[in-house]
Structure 1
Amino acid sequence: MTTAPTVITPPSAVRAAKSAVWTLLASSLLIKAAGFAWDFLGYYVADGLGYGTTAAGAALTAFGLGWCAGLASAGALTDRLGQRAGLSLVMALSSLACFALAIAESFPVLLLVSFFLGMTMEIHRPAVSAQINSTIESEAARTRAQSWLYWASNVGIAICAAAGGYLAQHYSYKALFIVNGLACLGFAAVAYRVLAPRIATDSVDVPALTYRQVFADSSLRWIAVAAVCGMTCAWGLVSVLPLLMADDGLPPTSYGLAMLANTITVLALTPPLTRLLVGSGDIPRYPLVPILTCGCAILGLGISLAALQHTTIGYAAAAALLVPGEIAFSVALGAYISTHAPRNASGRYQAVLSGATAVASLPPLGIALALNTGGRPLVATLLIGSALIAVAACRPLARALRDTQQAHARPLPSAAP
């Protein structure tokens, strides 16, 4: 697998590029904080329109299917067109999907809009991740920046739930979706303003890898398995939790309080835990596999306990318990992207791991059916089982990473005399 050649860049351009990274990280947080169409899709279908939890699960599943398709396209678009064109285009499309959700009411139309909303809602991440990898030289610094990208996403989601729960109860879901669409348009404008256009010769000098070449990397395949199963537990905050709380008859404000507990814990624990796991040097302090293993185990424990709760306090405590797992999981995935993804394919690598989140968003329909047939114990069993699969996948992942390192360290054979 080839990597991009080193390019000498003027110091002023380097400073501008790093400034663009932090602007994009802040924009990622804000777009998630205004991501009401994503966070409240389940509540809108089940409660706002009165279709019930099974219909909400179907809408969330359609959203997840669209998410998978959209991320694959976004990764390829980012690697081929560059971060500026790719990010501006996809965020403009995302705004259209939000506006469509604000006027959709019939269930078939809702399923269609949910699919297209999923296609556009998370596709900014490959471009932001590619900008980080192409700008920051130090492995540890890239890992920290990639971890902050996940942190921004998690904090934004929690802020969205806390604020959106209040606004939905006192105003309307449709108004939230319009705000979401306007935020997407703002992100598109910011990306076009702060990112440099793609250099025309890049596509010739550094050919982009195809998804077939990317998936030839066995470590990517194994970390994708772990990411899908781990994110099934983490995604439970915005997919499983609303279904469970709606089943208990709790209002959106209770969901907002649970997510507020998650947000406060994230804000308190992210800086010290990231510093502990990554360190302050140029090389990450700990290997990524043990961090990923611990993160997936904590996520499984937290979300399975959440499945057994019935009160706002219980859900809030479980949401807070998930946070160390979220941080460790984010650091591990950030370390993988920053240390292993080739720079001419970082968009596709990030799209694969973000796609794991999309695949993890598919189970809500199954969770809704499990809730109706086997109750809370069955839901908890399914979630803890997903976490155990993620933990098991970490062993072959470690072996694949070790084989890759040995292959890179092996000297080339000398030429024959």
Structure 2
Amino acid sequence: MSTSSLRRAVHESVSGLPRAFWWLWTSTLVNRLGAFVATFMALYLTIERGYSASFAGLVAALYGLGGAVASIGAGVLTDRLGRRPTMLAAQSSTAVLVAVLAFVEHPVAIAGVALLVGMAASASRPAVQAMMADIVAPEDRVRAFSLNYWAINLGFALSSIGAGFIAEYSYRAGFLIEAVMTMACAVLVFVKLPESRPDQAPTAAGSTAAPSVHLGTVLRDGRFMALVGLSVLIGLIFQQGSVALPVAMGADGFSSGDFGLAIGVNGVLIVVLQIPVTRFIARRDPRMLLVVSALLAGYGFGLTAFAGSLALYALTVAVWTLAEVVNAPVQMGLVVRLSPTHGRGRYQGVYSLSWSVGSLAAPLIGGRVIDEYGAAWLWGGCAAVGTVAAVGYWGLMRGLPEGPEAETTDSGDEAGTGSGGEAAKAKPKTVSGPPERDAQPAG
């Protein structure tokens, strides 16, 4: 690719998005630059504190349980109180709790604070995703989600490598750095981001008011809940990268710095590939993209059973990273597509719950399987789960209209009273893939 072509591709990828999006993007980047706890908790407990893989899995599971509990409540607060206050409360609480986690030593205290950190850290996710859907035009949403995911992984790549070496010096220092960076995010939100929650549109005389969206509405949306279930399976696989992978590498004699380098491949590749791959998949069949991403995730982790060197571990990370690059923008676009405008917080909360459930179940499963049967059985299980998810995505996407995706509206069967696909057919708006500028994508 020539310099001029590269410059044009970058310009097409970043131009035309509102200023508020870039402040939200910056907040995401700052937050991920300070990421430490979720990535290095397993190593901290097994190497620094000398606990078993099962205990490390239990603590990580409590972290995930906190996220699961918070996701639903945060989704409701996002719709009722607004996106901005929810983010402020979540991020400031996370900063304080992570600082506390740096100093607690008793195992019960570590487990309890980890639960609270999981709650606070996950509470901002529905608000961030709902605000992004609010402020970005439908045709630009997949591009926006891709750029945000790119920021997450740019920060993750830098923090993983740096934090790996910080951990060799002091785990406590890493915890305190995360606390400071998270508080910086809260300050940035407070200073730069206005509230974006849509006003309820007035009802014309003689027309029927749009039905309100409650949690029951979301839970009865059959197609959407199927997507949530598949997201749980994918989350179970990906969470092994921060739970089972460091434990397995530690058992093979690798240091925290080695793990930081291996897992850093994930962030580096996403930084390099996310934008060009998003442009590439813009006009591809989303069903095939989701199927392929599930297979890459499952079999990428499955290949870890054959890794015996740092280079081979890094290679397996590269394989399942390709799954993330494809899955993230396509699946987020589908979530927004199936979510009614005035129920975005609740829908995003339930969707976030899927990842929290993965965070809860993955460490319990991973730690137990490693302790009882060995890591090879866990990696084989990941391949099996990826296959099941691929079949599920194929079935989920059947019956959805081809071509430009339709965004769910706040009228009629909007929230999916059992299918979700019916809702998607009302008021079509472009919400697919990223961008050539003459046919902009969305999410």
Give the distance between the partners of 1:199 and 1:228, measured in 2 at CA: 28
* 1:348 CA drift (Å): 2.1
Distance 1:408 1:101, change over 3 A: closer
* 1:138 CA drift (Å): 2.8
Percentage of matched positions with identical amino acids: 25
Q: What does 1:16-415 correspond to in 2, within 5 Å?
A: 18-139=18-139, 141-170=140-169, 172-197=170-195, 202=200, 209-278=213-282, 285-361=283-359, 362-399=361-398, 401=400, 404-405=420-421, 409=425
- Structure 2 gaps, min length 5: 1-14, 204-209, 402-418, 428-443
Give the distance between the partners of 1:25 and 1:364, measured in 2 at CA: 29
Distance 1:150 1:322, change over 3 A: same
Equivalent position amino acid for 1:248 in 2: D
* 1:207 CA drift (Å): 7.9
Distance 1:331 1:107, change over 3 A: same
Distance 1:217 1:56, change over 3 A: same
> Which deviations, in whole Å up to 9, do the C-alpha atoms of 1:208-266 show, x marking residues without a partner?
62221112211211111111111222222212211111221211000111022222222
Report the TM-score when normalising by structure 1: 0.86
Give the distance between the partners of 1:105 and 1:92, measured in 2 at CA: 23
Residues 291-300 or 154-163, more deviating: 154-163
Give the distance between the partners of 1:350 and 1:186, measured in 2 at CA: 24
* Secondary structure of the corresponding residue to residue 399 of structure 1: coil
Residues 151-160 or 85-94, more deviating: 151-160
Distance 1:157 1:409, change over 3 A: closer
* 1:82 CA drift (Å): 1.0
Distance 1:269 1:409, change over 3 A: closer
The answer to whether the Cα contact below 8 Å between 1:38 and 1:121 also exists between their aligned partners in 2 is: no
Give the distance between the partners of 1:208 and 1:87, measured in 2 at CA: 23
Deviant stretches of 4+, over 3 Å:
197-208, 399-411
Give the distance between the partners of 1:239 and 1:255, measured in 2 at CA: 12
* Secondary structure of the corresponding residue to residue 122 of structure 1: helix
Equivalent position amino acid for 2:292 in 1: C
Equivalent position amino acid for 2:366 in 1: I
Equivalent position amino acid for 1:66 in 2: G
Distance 1:405 1:108, change over 3 A: closer
Structure 1 or 2: more helix by fraction: 1
Give the distance between the partners of 2:312 and 2:389, measured in 1 at CA: 25
The answer to whether the Cα contact below 8 Å between 2:42 and 2:56 also exists between their aligned partners in 1 is: yes
The answer to whether the Cα contact below 8 Å between 1:225 and 1:390 also exists between their aligned partners in 2 is: no
Equivalent position amino acid for 1:378 in 2: W
* Secondary structure of the corresponding residue to residue 363 of structure 1: helix
Give the distance between the partners of 2:214 and 2:281, measured in 1 at CA: 32
> What is the RMSD of the two structures over their aligned residues, measured on CA atoms?
2.5
Give the distance between the partners of 1:117 and 1:144, measured in 2 at CA: 30
* Secondary structure of the corresponding residue to residue 254 of structure 2: coil
Distance 1:408 1:241, change over 3 A: closer
Give the distance between the partners of 2:228 and 2:85, measured in 1 at CA: 27
Give the distance between the partners of 2:279 and 2:424, measured in 1 at CA: 28
Give the distance between the partners of 2:29 and 2:311, measured in 1 at CA: 26
The answer to whether the Cα contact below 8 Å between 2:35 and 2:178 also exists between their aligned partners in 1 is: yes
* 1:109 CA drift (Å): 0.8
* 1:125 CA drift (Å): 2.2
Give the distance between the partners of 1:215 and 1:204, measured in 2 at CA: 27
The answer to whether the Cα contact below 8 Å between 1:258 and 1:316 also exists between their aligned partners in 2 is: yes
The answer to whether the Cα contact below 8 Å between 1:370 and 1:379 also exists between their aligned partners in 2 is: yes
* Secondary structure of the corresponding residue to residue 97 of structure 1: helix
Equivalent position amino acid for 1:146 in 2: F
Give the distance between the partners of 2:194 and 2:26, measured in 1 at CA: 18
Distance 1:313 1:198, change over 3 A: closer
Residues 75-84 or 287-296, more deviating: 287-296
* 1:60 CA drift (Å): 0.7
* Secondary structure of the corresponding residue to residue 105 of structure 1: coil
* 1:409 CA drift (Å): 4.9
Give the distance between the partners of 1:307 and 1:355, measured in 2 at CA: 29
The answer to whether the Cα contact below 8 Å between 2:134 and 2:197 also exists between their aligned partners in 1 is: no
* 1:306 CA drift (Å): 1.9
Report the TM-score when normalising by structure 2: 0.82
The answer to whether the Cα contact below 8 Å between 1:17 and 1:195 also exists between their aligned partners in 2 is: no
Distance 1:137 1:257, change over 3 A: same
Equivalent position amino acid for 1:373 in 2: E
Equivalent position amino acid for 1:356 in 2: S
Distance 1:341 1:371, change over 3 A: same
Give the distance between the partners of 2:291 and 2:239, measured in 1 at CA: 17
Give the distance between the partners of 2:383 and 2:202, measured in 1 at CA: 47
* 1:198 CA drift (Å): 6.4
Distance 1:197 1:265, change over 3 A: closer
